Amino acid sequence: MPSMAQVLFADAVLAVGSHYLWFRKYEPTSYRVISAVILLLTSPVTYTLLNVTGNAPTAIALGVGTFMAALFTSIIVYRLSPWHPLSSCPGPLICKVTKMWTAYLAWTGKTHLYYLGLHEKYGRIVRIGPNDISVTDKALFPHILGAQGMPKGPVWENRRIVTARDSRGHRSLHAVRDLKLHGELRKPWNKAFGKEPLKDYEIALVKNAAILVEQLQDVCRDGEEVLIDGAQWLSYFSFDFMGDMVFGKSQKFLTEGDPNGVWDVMQESLVFRTVAQHIPWIRPLVPFLPSSFLRADTAFRKFAASQAKARAQSEPLSRDLFYHLISNTEVEPGTSVLPLIMADAVLAIFGGSDTSATTFSNVLYYLVRYPEWQMKVRKEVDDALRFVAERNGSSAFPDLDELAEWGVLNAVINETLRLQPGAPTLLQRGPAPGSGGKQLGNIFLPEGTTVQVPPYAVHRDSRYFYPRTKDFWPERWFRGPEAEGGCVLDRSVFIPFSMGPANCVGKPLALKQLRYVVAVLVHNFEFRFPEGYDAADWESEMKDRFLMVKGELPVLINISQGP
């Protein structure tokens, strides 16, 4: 009979072999599969140990414990070894070993700052996980995000706690990883954001912007400066506009507030998803977690479902987003449109409100922090309105398309999007399943590995934006390379809306919103920070939850006295 040492050594060899032959390639996330495999592999060892020890619990503990210890040791050694496919990529030791560290960073909301620091230390390609790299080399972007790039990576699976499907069994456009299917599902969205539908959405935009101005004027009715939370007002505007534009019905946050705390719930619902995207093995444990972990996520999904059901059961007062999506999607006669609306309700809510509100708030923050640019934008707006009045005898704002030609306004918006992109880090892609992998420059990415492009780090790279790379300096958008002192402005890596076939489909509308609302606010009001407010607090309180989550923005507001 073999000794205990011999049996345990064989157990360890078995663990290392199973890692090399199976776990190394597949890394399963099903606990049933993992448990079944481990019990099956260790059963001969356990049986032999039972004959040696004569005690079943001891035999099981030794057999399974030794196997697991050897398995984890083998995994760690392999991830740090020169045989790992990403071994040539530099990065922190802890990132090479486990994703638990980045999951922790995701919980703190400071992932964007961490990745920026890694690229500043290690260079253009950094290993940020056992099987994950981050890239800021623009030469590789077309092969990652472009038309010849890769499908979305597994992070999109891991972010999905519960996802509805449409009548054809398709998930939300945002969650589809298959390139061909994504292209098919994207077609109705492209049409829904075409030139004519945008005119429908502009009606809702102008209407809600007018309500925002009226409400703020009412706040300032006594002609004195009033302290407000600018971020909250802009969030309310964004949510009201989203309601009109997406579901054909305003949420009336601007006039009635948010008594049910929907906005806070939406923000809080991102936390668990942000952490779970880094550690996929937590997904099977979701049903067993305390309800408090998923309270916000559950509440927000119920809200989204209620909006989808209400929209499906009634005709909208205007031609909203789902009107155009339904019109451009093949829906069998007599079939309910609810599954289609439900599948994309969460995407539409976040995309139509959260990212816009954050960008609006960031623009306001920079205009208040740098009042000289607030004055420049106001002058450009007032001059343009004066020209319109002289030309047409009207005090109305120009057509929204004309705002795209306003130099100062767009420079401020672009510089804001450069410094604070709405999705700062995880533009993740991975080799398509069944492809065998993909060559990316000098690195071969086998299936199961991923690559991300972090806009926050890319936009703060002096090779692409110079000088004053980390400063708010809208003047860079006017200068050319021949300017005194030199100026680098690489528009090819300006990717606040991503790039390629999976870029933000709502980009044209988002830019119209930004230009119009910023112009209207600066024309009607003057803003400054209250005494004693540390402007650095705004940026330090921002958190990367895949989308950037903001805090309060205290500003003193007064009605503009005009030019």
In what side-by-side order are the strands of the sheet with 226-229? 226-229, 554-559, 525-528
Phi, psi of 263 (to 5 degrees): -65, -45
110-119, 122-131, 459-468, 476-485: range with lowest mean pLDDT: 476-485
SS3 state at 78 = helix
**Does residue 504 have a known ligand-binding role?**
yes
133-147, 173-187, 346-360, 468-482: range with lowest mean pLDDT: 173-187
Q: Which residue has the higher pLDDT, 54 or 92?
A: 92
81-95, 122-136, 348-362: range with lowest mean pLDDT: 348-362
Q: Residue 278 and residue 336: Cα distance in Å, rounded?
A: 36
Mean of the per-residue pLDDT values of the chain: 88
Predicted TM-score (pTM) of this structure = 0.92
Q: Which residue has the higher pLDDT, 305 or 411?
A: 411
Secondary structure in 3-state letters for 348-369 = HHHHHHHHHHHHHHHHHHHHHH
pLDDT at 167 over 60: no
Residue-range domain boundaries for the chain: 4-80, 173-559
pLDDT at 64 over 50: yes
Highest mean pLDDT among 10-24, 40-54, 386-400, 541-555: 541-555
From 111, 109, 110, 145, select the one nearest 128 (Cα to Cα).
111
- Angle, CA 386 vertex, CA 385 and CA 387 arms, to 5°: 90
Cβ neighbour number for residue 459 with a 10 Å cutoff? 24
How does residue 469 score in pLDDT terms, banded at 50, 70 and 90? Answer: very high
Check residue 161 and give its pLDDT.
45
Q: Are 519 and 397 contacting, i.e. CB atoms less than 8 angstroms apart?
A: yes
Q: Which residue has the higher pLDDT, 207 or 294?
A: 207
Q: Are 340 and 325 contacting, i.e. CB atoms less than 8 angstroms apart?
A: yes
Check residue 485 and give its pLDDT.
66
Measured N-to-C along each axis, helices 262-276 and 295-312 cross at an angle, to the nearest 10 degrees, of 120
Check residue 521 and give its pLDDT.
97
Check residue 492 and give its pLDDT.
95
52-61, 128-137, 139-148, 356-365: range with lowest mean pLDDT: 52-61
The predicted-structure confidence for 253-282, as pLDDT tens digits, reads as follows 999 999 989 999 988 888 888 888 888 777
Token pair in block for residue 437: 């992998």
- Angle, CA 371 vertex, CA 366 and CA 374 arms, to 5°: 75
Check residue 144 and give its pLDDT.
96
Q: Which residues contact 29 (CB under 8 A, 6 or more apart)?
A: 280, 281, 283, 284
How does residue 484 score in pLDDT terms, banded at 50, 70 and 90? Answer: low
Check residue 166 and give its pLDDT.
47
Q: Are 428 and 367 contacting, i.e. CB atoms less than 8 angstroms apart?
A: no
Q: Are 549 and 542 contacting, i.e. CB atoms less than 8 angstroms apart?
A: yes
Residues of the chain with pLDDT > 70, as a percent, come to 93
The predicted-structure confidence for 416-466, as pLDDT tens digits, reads as follows 999 999 999 988 999 988 898 999 999 999 998 999 999 999 999 999 999
Q: Which residue has the higher pLDDT, 355 or 133?
A: 133
pLDDT at 168 over 70: no
pLDDT at 335 over 70: no
From 430, 373, 381, select the one nearest 405 (Cα to Cα).
381
The predicted-structure confidence for 373-385, as pLDDT tens digits, reads as follows 999 999 999 999 8
Q: Which residues contact 313 (CB under 8 A, 6 or more apart)?
A: none
What's the Cα-to-Cα distance from 146 to each of 361, 455, 509, rounded to whole Å?
30, 15, 22
What's the Cα-to-Cα distance from 541 to each of 395, 515, 534, rounded to whole Å?
39, 25, 12
71-80, 145-154, 197-206: range with lowest mean pLDDT: 145-154
pLDDT at 472 over 50: yes
Q: Which residues contact 324 (CB under 8 A, 6 or more apart)?
A: 188, 191, 192, 197, 200
Q: Residue 453 and residue 138: Cα distance in Å, rounded?
A: 9
Pick the CATH number of 173-559 from 3.40.50.2300, 1.10.630.10, 1.10.357.10, 1.20.120.530: 1.10.630.10
Q: What DSSP string runs through 310-340?
A: HHHTS--SS--HHHHHHHTS---TT--SHHH
Check residue 519 and give its pLDDT.
96
How does residue 162 score in pLDDT terms, banded at 50, 70 and 90? Answer: very low
Check residue 365 and give its pLDDT.
98
